[in-house]
């Protein structure tokens, strides 16, 4: 299971899972809302530090993407709520960490690490989901910096976040070239929002910007260079979405194997049926293949591979792992029968949770497009 990991990384993964099983199990869930007590506990346990530097006994920071994947997979195997809460702390704050001015980083990041500050990544809009370059939210020059006008939607942690990494159009140039990133306080005048209700409830909502004022110090990176900030963030987090999916798939596989041993059909254990054993074998093989793709993509990022290779590897990892998790969870439900559809059953929970990762941070179709274009580009370059 830990093929390719160092002993230190294996120990780290085991420690994360142990903490999830022993320390996080007692935190009250908060479906559809930001769970601040859970975030505080993640901060107290030092797990949020794994997003931004880690403790002294954590794996070296030249393996940042791999560590993020280990965190997400092993939390997801135990608690999808804890996994999602942690991941959103990273996704929402990484644009600030990588592109913010020192004073902006100092204002927000310490609280993110302790779980006191809730960040959000505000990219998607009503008319710009998969085509993120089609952003319409406008940022206009003002005497004190910029004013923001427009809407964002499908924003995790909205409308409760304390700070948003917001991507807005700052020039009329087409596509990605006229987009700028801003750090926007959640209590800014003119900013409002409302929650959205999903199949698998978690904190997500719509935001409205009605003349929201931001200063030059709130710009993340270069003016008109915000799309690169978004893509660097997604290149890091896409493999870890795959890790989240692997964690859910592993939990479903474990449940299916245990059930096949416990359940008797006509006087024999369920696994005695060859079709069941073959299904379990296929589930386990696909989970391991997905895990290896995730680790390969994370290693590509950590080793400083060319951006084109990192993007392709991340797309492959997210595509295969999320599609695999959907299939594995579905097979586990089928093996359990009607009991898996009861509200509160682990597999009923996973069946709802596993659907969204095939859409967010680039739907499966988008990942296939990225991979296909990369292959064609490489072949074209080799023949010119």
Catalytic residues: 361
* Structural contact between residues 253 and 284, judged by C-beta atoms closer than 8 angstroms: yes
The DSSP code for 212 is: E
DSSP letters for 104-142: HHHHHHHHHHHTSS-EEEE--BTTBSS-GGG---EEEEE
Cα–Cα nearest to 246, from 166, 320, 168, 355: 320
Which alpha helices (DSSP H) does the chain contain, by range? 7-22, 36-44, 64-76, 80-99, 102-114, 226-262, 274-302, 307-336, 346-353, 364-382
Q: What is the dihedral of CA 269, 275, 279, 282, to 10 degrees?
A: 130
Cα–Cα nearest to 98, from 186, 222, 188: 222
* Structural contact between residues 124 and 154, judged by C-beta atoms closer than 8 angstroms: yes
CA 329 to chain centre: 19
Query: What is d(CA 272, CA 265) in angstroms, rounded to the nearest whole number?
Result: 9
Sorted by sequence, the CB contacts under 8 Å of residue 20 that are 6+ apart come out as: 74, 75, 77, 78, 79, 82
């Amino acid at each position: 299971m830990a093929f390719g990991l160092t002993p230190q990384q294996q120990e780290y993964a085991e420690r994360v899972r142990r903490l999830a099983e022993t320390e996080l199990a007692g935190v009250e869930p908060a479906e559809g809302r930001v769970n601040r007590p859970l975030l505080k506990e993640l901060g107290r346990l030092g797990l949020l530090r794994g997003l931004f530097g880690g403790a002294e006994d954590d794996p070296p920071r030249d393996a940042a993407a791999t560590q993020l994947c280990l965190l997400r997979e092993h939390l997801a195997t135990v608690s999808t709520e804890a996994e999602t809460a942690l991941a959103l702390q990273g996704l929402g704050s990484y644009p600030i960490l990588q592109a913010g001015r020192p004073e902006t980083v100092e204002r927000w990041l310490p609280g993110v690490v302790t779980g006191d500050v809730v960040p959000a990544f505000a990219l998607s809009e009503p008319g710009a989901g998969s085509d993120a370059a089609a952003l319409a939210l406008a940022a206009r020059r003002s005497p004190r910096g910029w004013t923001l006008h427009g809407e964002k939607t499908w924003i995790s942690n909205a409308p409760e976040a304390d700070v948003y990494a917001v991507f807005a159009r700052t020039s009329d140039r087409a596509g990605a070239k006229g987009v700028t990133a801003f750090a926007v306080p959640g209590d800014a005048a003119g900013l409002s929002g409302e929650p959205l209700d999903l199949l698998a409830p978690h904190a997500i909502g719509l935001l409205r910007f009605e003349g929201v004022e931001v200063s030059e110090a709130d710009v993340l990176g270069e003016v008109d260079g915000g799309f690169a900030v978004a893509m660097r963030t997604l290149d890091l987090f896409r493999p870890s979405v795959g890790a989240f999916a692997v964690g859910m798939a592993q939990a479903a596989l474990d449940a299916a194997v245990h059930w096949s041993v416990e359940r008797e059909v006509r006087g024999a254990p369920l696994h005695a049926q060859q079709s069941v054993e073959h299904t379990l074998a296929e589930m386990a093989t696909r989970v391991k293949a997905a895990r290896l793709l995730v680790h390969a993509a994370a290693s590509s990022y950590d080793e400083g591979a060319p951006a084109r290779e990192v993007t392709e590897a991340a797309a492959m990892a997210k595509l295969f792992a999320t599609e695999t998790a959907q299939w594995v969870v579905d097979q586990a439900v089928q093996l359990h029968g009607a009991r898996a559809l009861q509200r509160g059953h682990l597999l009923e929970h996973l069946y709802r949770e596993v659907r969204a990762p095939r859409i967010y941070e680039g739907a499966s179709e988008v990942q296939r497009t990225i991979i296909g274009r990369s292959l064609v580009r490489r072949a074209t370059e080799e023949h010119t």
